[in-house]
Amino acid sequence: MTIRSLLIANRGEIAVRIIRAAKALGIRTVQVHSAADSDMLAVKLADEAIDIGPPSAAKSYLKIEAVIAAAKQSGVDAIHPGYGFLSENAAFAQAVEDAGMIFVGPKPEAISLLGDKVEARKVAKRAGVPTVPGSDGRVDSVEIAREIVGKIGFPVMIKAAAGGGGRGIRIAETMEDFERHFPQASAEALAAFGDGGLYIEKVITRARHVEVQILGDGENAVHCFERECSLQRRRQKVWEEAPSHLLPENVRAALCASAVALAREVNYRGAGTVEYLYDEVSGEFYFIEVNTRIQVEHPVTEMITGIDLVAEMIRIAGGEKLSVRQEDIKVHGHAIECRINAEDPSKGFLPGPGTVEKLVVPEGEGIRFDTMLYEGYTVPPFYDSLLGKLIVWAETREACLERLQNALRGLKIKGLPTTVPLHLALAGDPLVAKADFHTRFLESWLETDFPAALAALEEAA
């Protein structure tokens, strides 16, 4: 079935991104929005907009019946969930299908299977993908957990079986830590995801977070190489690159092949990401999880491969086969993405929603800014603080870093605080220049190096 009309069940920059991809395909777009988002850019760009509820996400963007009612009212063929909100909700995907429409993403069964991290580990093992040492399934009690920890040793990570985004996770260095954190993690997971189930993984002390972009049409699957996402704060990605600069070629080949094997194991449909930890010391990589949706950081993959991942998702959902073969997908150059948030990095990343008084977007070869902003727009306080993503491409990583610094200096968002100073400091850091970092690097760097780097930037300005 060819998709002629599409409802976007999301907001912010990803809604804008989906609308632009759909329009390029000649597809009519319908944007749902909360009462707080009636003037957002996606509403202005879409062919039609429908108010689905109050500012609270729970009463609008997360309300399945409201989204389905809007889709029926507008007569669309399909719904694109973007990322976050209902994007990995199997019940929503099923409700879309039950209403006679197309869910732009994997089948509900695949979302359910891969969305449960414990079940996803089992799928990975069946596909021959190495997993982090840990529990074979959910751990229901501290007593059982003690036995597992005794075998794998400290430090360990206690993780929510459902959900993501860094919630329901604790790191324990000792048994005392473990017994204190276990019930806390379960309670947080229950509150965030409605599921308090936990599992345990060994902590890899100096790990790099590397993920592989996959595309599948339900029969065939390909990879679009990997991204490096090791620069994280509170387990939230801050800066992403493609490809991973220091990954050996033999590891890259094995990593990407394992992601495709996993996708084929479940007859994957749509775009997805298989996430791994790479242990620099041993040279081994381990499966973490699958994200059954488009990722925030997808643009860096698009920049190095030339593949429009969002358009490909829509085509596949409409019944088309993959438009690319594995042998045709090549890496060209290097790309870096900086997440620009409405936060003040000098004040502990205090959120600062407000009105955009002036917006200047850098232009030029290899520069892209995916955003929801326009001058006069008031950023509401109800949602994630992401304002946009500055993506820069160049032939080499060194040239990419230089271009990124120039682009960051050229990006002006007046009226509210942003994380641009953080990214300028990172782009000029000697260890970042050498790609000498890991998943714990950024939080330590923020305490030791960032204050001086920020002061130097302010003095130079």
| pLDDT, the chain, mean | 94
Residues assigned a catalytic role: 293
Q: Is 428 exposed, middle or buried (0-12, 13-18, 19+ CB in 10 A)?
A: middle
Contact assessment for residue 373 and residue 418, using Cβ atoms and an 8 Å cutoff: no
**pLDDT value for 358:** 98
Q: How many CB atoms lie within 10 A of CB 430?
A: 8
Whether the CA torsion 409, 412, 417, 420 is positive or negative: it is negative
pLDDT value at 205 more than 90: no
Greater confidence, 164 or 406? 406
Which tens digit of pLDDT belongs to each residue from 41-72?
999 999 999 999 999 999 999 999 999 999 99
**pLDDT value for 166:** 65
pLDDT value at 167 more than 90: no
Helix (H) or strand (E) holding 193: helix 175-193
Contact assessment for residue 460 and residue 452, using Cβ atoms and an 8 Å cutoff: no
Name the pairing type of β-strands 350-351 and 343-344.
Answer: antiparallel
Q: Rounded mean pLDDT of 7-30?
A: 98
Q: Rounded mean pLDDT of 359-373?
A: 98
pLDDT value at 192 more than 90: no
Q: Rounded mean pLDDT of 175-197?
A: 86
CA distance 275 to 347: 31
Bond from prior residue into 183 cis (ω within 30 degrees of 0): no
Rg (CA), the chain: 21
**pLDDT value for 417:** 97
CA distance 274 to 226: 9
**pLDDT value for 151:** 85
Considering the chain, what percentage of its residues have pLDDT values greater than 90? 80
**pLDDT value for 164:** 63
Contact assessment for residue 123 and residue 265, using Cβ atoms and an 8 Å cutoff: yes
CA distance 385 to 155: 32
Token couple for 192:
């965030």
Which tens digit of pLDDT belongs to each residue from 329-344?
999 999 999 999 999 9
pLDDT category, 25, cuts 50, 70, 90? very high
pLDDT category, 136, cuts 50, 70, 90? confident
Token couple for 213:
């972009």
Structural domains of the chain, with CATH: 5-104 (3.40.50.20), 133-202 (3.30.1490.20), 207-460 (3.30.470.20)
**pLDDT value for 413:** 98
Token couple for 363:
């232009």
**pLDDT value for 1:** 65
**pLDDT value for 201:** 87
**pLDDT value for 28:** 98
pLDDT category, 199, cuts 50, 70, 90? confident
CA distance 21 to 450: 37
pLDDT category, 359, cuts 50, 70, 90? very high
pLDDT category, 302, cuts 50, 70, 90? very high
Q: Which amino acid is at 13?
A: E
pTM here? 0.91
Residue 174 φ then ψ, to 5°: -140, 170
CA distance 30 to 363: 29
CA distance 61 to 59: 7
Q: Rounded mean pLDDT of 439-447?
A: 95
Helix (H) or strand (E) holding 42: helix 41-45
DSSP single-letter state for residue 37: G
Q: Which amino acid is at 27?
A: I
**pLDDT value for 385:** 96
